Amino acid sequence: MLLPNCVLILGLFTSSLASTQWPFDAGFNYDGLRAYDDGLFTPLEDLSFVHSSSYTTLKHPAFPKHSVRIKKTFDFCDPHVNSYTGYIDIEARHLFFYFFESRNNPDTDDVIFWTNGGPGCSSSLGLFMELGPCRVKDENSTVVHPEAWNNNANIFFVDQPIGVGFSYADYGEVVGTTEEAAKDIASFVAIFFEHFTKFKGRAFHMAGESYGGRYVPVFAAEVYDQNARLVDAGLTPINLQSVMIGNGEFDFAATLLSYYDMQCTPASVPPFLSISECVAMKQILPRCEKRIKSACLDSLDAIDCAAAIQFCETHIVGPFESLGLNPYDVTRECKGELKDSLCYPIIATISKYLDQPIIREKLGVDPVLTSNFSSCNDGIEKRFMQNLDMTHRTTYHIAALLDRGIEVLIYVGSYDWICNWVGNERWTLALEWSGQKEFVEEELREWTVDGKRAGLVRAKGGLTFATVDAAGHMVPYDKPKEALALVQRWLAREII
């Protein structure tokens, strides 16, 4: 009875304290850094030197265990902007990425990092379905997407963790927690900015959706903490400005309990469960909350936590599943198989598009990857579930980032059930940070696009919570115009 992409995909913090150590501990080399300082090493510096017919391999003596393979991809996705694909190689691990320059001014516009959720779903979904420069039209072609987020920003789409999309490992290495994945991402960010000097000091934003509510706060915290070591080593720190997370999973207990509101109250749509089902669910909520807190949040007992989750799912999720509705948009029926296409047939089309040999060759996908493209990796999902990764709330990371001057945008489509606005609003109001009192006292107000209401917003002291009317789980897919306006105002530091 597990649903992908949010509260019911769980994972465990199995790493020791060593897992949070500085990512360069295993590979940073001060002799190499001195060679760099002495002028014995010159980074490539500019993307114009990147080849299109083959990979250009980038190395840095301060990062002897890391390298980047990158190539220019002509006539791909949007022919009007420069696009690049490649791998960040971390010894035997290889993370695939897409990079698109801004349609406006790539030399001055901000840089966005984007990841989809899952855990285990490829960022090709964000690229080809939601906010990328193009959308897949059919399994053989794409069309330019006018409301792409690279209208005013340079943007990465990264297949992470290892094993997602076109990312892979040589010897079967795996990643089973968000904290482990954060090391790879922090290294990726550092080595890219160190090589391409025009991006040094550029405003940087980390964004994602769904399980990105777990990923992005941890990744951003790792990048922030990494900056202290970069400065100590004489390198340029990353100018991390903000995180942007759509329909995210931050506190799985709060989200699970909010399913009652989405099904039994007019929180977004009229109640759609029977009165008897809702009464039974309401009576079970305190017991469910108590068991989740005791077994999952307080003690991290894998056996007891699994039993508590199964108990809560049976009484809170079971009635919804029997309706055949789309958990990502309660106003629609699920089309296709939830497991295979997440109720959106276009996802299967994206996979077929990326399975074409000519497309893989154009992207520079490593030939060792011979299996069919899979938008979501079940093995990674199961590994994170077994590790109970989800039980680690990232609200603490959000509070810490806010108190260090990193701004946070939480946006939520009003029709999403699985990571809904009710649960997200609750944790933002309960969040303990230096600006909590002022944020809580701020009233929700309407925000508009072209004079029409687009949703509700509460913003104060660096934290912004916004809903997007009539949008589901994937806001840029359902409401591309409103999503772009939201992001453009955020990047321009304008009031939403």
Confidence of residue 381 (pLDDT cuts 50, 70, 90): confident
Percent pLDDT > 70 in the chain is 88
Q: Is the pLDDT of residue 39 over 90?
A: no
Residue 319, Ramachandran bin (φ over 0: left; ψ between -120 and 50: alpha; else beta): alpha
Q: What is the pLDDT of residues 143-165, one digit of tens each?
A: 999 999 999 999 999 999 888 99
Percent pLDDT > 90 in the chain is 62
Give the domain range for residue 415: 17-252+391-491
> 93-100 and 83-90 as β-strands: parallel, antiparallel, unpaired?
antiparallel
Tokens of 214: 């777990």
Q: What is the CATH number of the domain that holds 223?
A: 3.40.50.1820
Confidence of residue 43 (pLDDT cuts 50, 70, 90): low
For the chain, what is the mean pLDDT? 87
Confidence of residue 45 (pLDDT cuts 50, 70, 90): low
**Range of lowest pLDDT (6-15, 45-54, 208-217, 359-368):** 6-15
Kindly state the helix (H) or strand (E) to which residue 381 belongs, with its residue range.
helix 378-386
Concatenate the DSSP letters of all residues of 314-368 into one string: IIIIHHHHTTTEETTEEEEEPPS-HHHHTT-HHHHHHHHHHT-HHHHHHHT--TT
3-state class of 236 per DSSP? coil
Q: How far apart are CA 411 and CA 362, in angstroms?
A: 34
Q: Tell me, what amino acid is at 252?
A: F
Does some domain include residue 184? yes
Q: Is the pLDDT of residue 114 over 80?
A: yes
Does some domain include residue 416? yes
pLDDT of residue 8: 41
Higher pLDDT, 63 or 363: 363
Which of these is catalytic: 159, 416, 469, 478?
416
| Helix residue ranges, H only, 169-301 | 178-195, 212-232, 252-264, 275-292
Which of these is catalytic: 60, 66, 392, 473?
473
Q: Is the pLDDT of residue 383 over 80?
A: yes
Does some domain include residue 231? yes
Which of these is catalytic: 210, 258, 268, 341?
210
Confidence of residue 88 (pLDDT cuts 50, 70, 90): confident
- What is the mean predicted confidence (pLDDT) over 478-484? 98
* Cβ contact 157:97 at 8 Å: yes
pLDDT of residue 48: 61
Does some domain include residue 92? yes
CA 256 to the chain's CA centroid: 20
- The count of structural domains within the chain is 1
Q: Is the pLDDT of residue 266 over 60?
A: yes
Q: What is the pLDDT of residues 191-231, one digit of tens each?
A: 888 877 788 899 999 999 999 999 999 999 999 999 998 88
Does some domain include residue 28? yes
Q: Is the pLDDT of residue 449 over 70?
A: yes
Does some domain include residue 99? yes
Q: What is the pLDDT of residues 53-72, one digit of tens each?
A: 677 777 766 677 778 888 88
- Residue 167 annotated as catalytic: no
* Cβ contact 410:207 at 8 Å: no
CA 235 to the chain's CA centroid: 27
Is the CA virtual torsion 395, 399, 401, 405 positive or negative? positive
Confidence of residue 348 (pLDDT cuts 50, 70, 90): very high
pLDDT of residue 129: 96
- What is the mean predicted confidence (pLDDT) over 374-392? 86
pLDDT of residue 4: 43
Does some domain include residue 377? no
418-440 CB burial, b ≥16 within 10 A, e <16 = bbbbbbbbbbbeebebebbeebe
Q: How far apart are CA 381 and CA 391, in angstroms?
A: 14
pLDDT of residue 22: 31
Q: Is the pLDDT of residue 172 over 90?
A: no
303, burial (CB in 10 Å: exposed 0-12, middle 13-18, buried 19+) = exposed
Confidence of residue 44 (pLDDT cuts 50, 70, 90): low
Instruction: For residue 60, give Cα distances in angstroms to 30, 34, 97, 170, 229.
Output: 11, 11, 19, 22, 16
Q: What is the pLDDT of residues 275-287, one digit of tens each?
A: 999 999 999 999 9
pTM summary value: 0.90
Q: Is the pLDDT of residue 25 over 80?
A: no
Does some domain include residue 284? no
pLDDT of residue 147: 98
* Cβ contact 138:352 at 8 Å: no
